[in-house]
Structure 1
């Protein structure tokens, strides 16, 4: 594999996003309040970053910046998923910014800076870079969660997010320190080489403690049980477009890093190595996290009356499903699932954001009564997204879950697959309950028609088409991801 030193091309998408974010802030400083201009510039920068990322696809696995950055097919794919989530969040946010009458420049800039951290995270080949990227993400998202400064719920959610986020970051950085103390390196490729052999007893103990700390840190970032406690309150209190962003793009980035650190660097080798000793422990812990996340998330979601809290617990359950793919070490299945989840969840939150109004967000499930045939442009897409989240055949959600479960079954986790299937059946109840309320319950008040902006229509088109295209014609995406997966191990050596 070609080794590179400084290569600005390797961080091209990040540079485009960062420059666009700075431009948006400068324009806002000298000519404030131009939502349309700032939104168009932010969207254009995100699209340009995606084009730059695509140019890296065929270059093959290579390293840059003293082996801290990796360029491979999965880095590019996850970057595109993050950019898709960022772009759709920008579209969703236009109506929200009009309603709330808050400055658009800083808002769009924070979205872009958060996306910079996420794309750097999926490109990280070093634990120091992983930590820096995660902190870039969290600083931007802390501010976004509390962007409505006059709303006490928003401020409360931001404060909880900040305190628990700082706590998890402490675990993460302490874990990195322990791992470095055991291996004398923070580079993932070098670490993989070292743990494929043997280390002294003291080093193995240090390494196990460090890996445990890393699991806690990553568990918080991707919202798995028992590190999920921030999720419902933050999702409920944050502005709805911000909740859409938090539930998708950071989750994709976090799982990409989780995969690179655990499923590749500390992967079991089938020999008497340090990696196998580590895997015996982290696989058991992640299995428990997966089962608890699926079960707790789905059963608690049933009791929710607030649709944002319901989707928050749903996201915890989906994190449990993704962990099944992590355990199966099937990167392609995990990447596909996260792409599908990003599309479905952003579609749901787009409709929740549009249905809200100033002074009354209408986030109770009963607020959706009568929406069915009175607002078909909202109700039918929302029903499609919910059915897909439940995993009904013909939708992308079904294909994504089927691929994950198939991989796990082949990898020797049949019990986990059975638990996943049973939890999927449980989830059908609360997803279909919202659909029943929309189509078969009378509204509490007259349902006024909601005007649809072009940005919102574009979001609906992309998400609805994505759900059916990936559900009915996923073969090409499968082929792309499997090709990228075949080069993955080569890229780390």
Structure 2
């Protein structure tokens, strides 16, 4: 490629990624050359500024037409813009958590803590914009490798070492299975470009081709199910969530999950929605709905039932995260016309209610040096603001009307029921398991408001974290009362992802 061709590309489409890359590089060099006596907490504030600048640059690109550069390996379409906004908004909240994270034993590698969060974010952003199997895989690995290190960054803690080891082993297996599935697609089509693959698979009709593509689909589904922690590929999640620092746990439960679903959608709806099956009467994706539905049902049931037994708050939220992955898989299994907007809105609500809850968890658990649920006993008397905010987040996670979580689940219900009567089974499971989740969410509610406090330690409340908690609580209520604000923005700015296949 000559210089003239290189300069002809519309590099402005990658401006948000360039900003995150520059800030991450700057922080790594600053950490390398700065004195050890410097307070690295300021790195977190620089990271927040960098993320906000990247978000502003992305907002300036919203009205731009779809852009495809570098031989269609990088796409900036409505889908990429929508999910990048979620990733950047969630990452800004996580970076605020990281800036306020002060464990009792201290954090030796605080500088690495911040720029590794940024490199993980960069990988997630590339996953949403990738138009090629190679760049998809590079983005996935950048996210994964950074996450492995972050999970074990508290090197003096055995639980953190265990979390990193289990995450690396399970993540490596998942990556290998995903890559194996991708290799079949490449072998059948001779291309790694997603749009080129989509045009090629339409001509691959016959039992042999259908069998190979079905096998590729199942391997990718299994590998990516590890990434988003669905049953039975979820066993790493409780231990990794428990052993990781709380900002990392929050990152894995929200940012990593958003990126995993973005990758699932980008792959499956570009490739397998076009691949013919059953003598060209349907597509591979539609023929595999049963498998996706099976994973969704098992994930909702096991995630919620096992959560009932948890006494550790981080493990409880790990299984809660598993259950929410199941709810999102219901939308994938239904393949309704409302699927894209339902998933996007659910993640928007999930960012506010889950990251807000983790912010409260961080303040309470660090003050008491314990992650047991009983440490929340009497929280209302110790800090009414934190208790009321946490109550709002729990109500939303449980799907109580008047909150963003309720609207998110309602959209998935309606979407599933509008397509086929066979989805009544999945919707019934979703309703029953949602009711089951009331027990463990309201158990925490009871501890905060109706149990005497067993802790006398003062809760330190950094101003930045309090502002984040307040904003998350406000948006959780606003989106529950007037969700049309988000939906109007979605359809006006992203056109319902109509440019997804172009």
Same fold, TM-score > 0.5, yes or no: yes
Pair 8,268 (structure 1): closer, same or farther in 2 beyond 3 Å:
closer
Q: 2:13 aligns with which of 3, 10, 21?
A: 10
List aligned pairs for 1:32-431, cutoff 5 A.
32=36, 33-97=38-102, 99=104, 100-267=106-273, 276-329=282-335, 330-357=339-366, 361-412=369-420, 413-431=423-441
Q: Is the 8 Å Cα contact of residues 181 and 203 (structure 1) preserved in structure 2?
A: no
Pair 297,98 (structure 1): closer, same or farther in 2 beyond 3 Å:
closer
Shift of 1:275: 8.8
1:248 is paired with a residue whose SS is: helix
Map of 1:20 onto structure 2: 23
Shift of 1:5: 7.2
Q: Which runs of 5+ in 1 are unaligned?
A: none
Shift of 1:269: 8.7
* Aligned mates of 2:146, 2:499 — CA distance in 1: 34
Q: Is the 8 Å Cα contact of residues 92 and 241 (structure 1) preserved in structure 2?
A: yes
Shift of 1:169: 0.5
* Aligned mates of 1:377, 1:275 — CA distance in 2: 57
1:378 is paired with a residue whose SS is: helix
* Aligned mates of 1:366, 1:487 — CA distance in 2: 44
Please give the TM-score of this superposition, normalised by the length of structure 1.
Answer: 0.94
Pair 280,491 (structure 1): closer, same or farther in 2 beyond 3 Å:
closer
Please give the TM-score of this superposition, normalised by the length of structure 2.
Answer: 0.93
* Aligned mates of 1:365, 1:61 — CA distance in 2: 47
Shift of 1:486: 4.2
* Aligned mates of 2:230, 2:96 — CA distance in 1: 28
1:57 is paired with a residue whose SS is: coil
Q: 1:479 aligns with which of 484, 488, 496?
A: 488
Q: 1:460 aligns with which of 432, 449, 469?
A: 469
Q: Give CA deviations for 1:119-139 in whole Å, capped at 9, x if unaligned.
A: 111111222221111100010
Shift of 1:378: 1.5
Shift of 1:457: 1.3
* Aligned mates of 1:490, 1:49 — CA distance in 2: 23
The 4+ residue runs of structure 1 with deviation greater than 4 A are 268-275, 483-487
Pair 131,436 (structure 1): closer, same or farther in 2 beyond 3 Å:
same
Pair 485,197 (structure 1): closer, same or farther in 2 beyond 3 Å:
farther
> Could you tell which deviates more after superposition, 60-69 or 167-176?
60-69
1:450 is paired with a residue whose SS is: coil
Pair 176,74 (structure 1): closer, same or farther in 2 beyond 3 Å:
same
* Aligned mates of 1:328, 1:9 — CA distance in 2: 36
Q: Give CA deviations for 1:304-359 in whole Å, capped at 9, x if unaligned.
A: 1111101000100000101112223311110110111111111111111111237x
RMSD, aligned CA: 2.0
Shift of 1:254: 0.9
> How many residue pairs end up in the alignment?
488
* Aligned mates of 2:402, 2:383 — CA distance in 1: 24
* Aligned mates of 1:158, 1:98 — CA distance in 2: 18
* Aligned mates of 1:125, 1:328 — CA distance in 2: 25
Shift of 1:483: 4.3
1:59 is paired with a residue whose SS is: coil
Q: Is the 8 Å Cα contact of residues 67 and 187 (structure 1) preserved in structure 2?
A: yes
Q: Give CA deviations for 1:223-279 in whole Å, capped at 9, x if unaligned.
A: 111111110000001011110111000101111111122234322799966693512
Q: Give CA deviations for 1:69-102 in whole Å, capped at 9, x if unaligned.
A: 2112221121111111111111112232475243
Q: Is the 8 Å Cα contact of residues 183 and 203 (structure 1) preserved in structure 2?
A: no
Pair 79,280 (structure 1): closer, same or farther in 2 beyond 3 Å:
closer
1:303 is paired with a residue whose SS is: coil
* Aligned mates of 1:274, 1:232 — CA distance in 2: 42
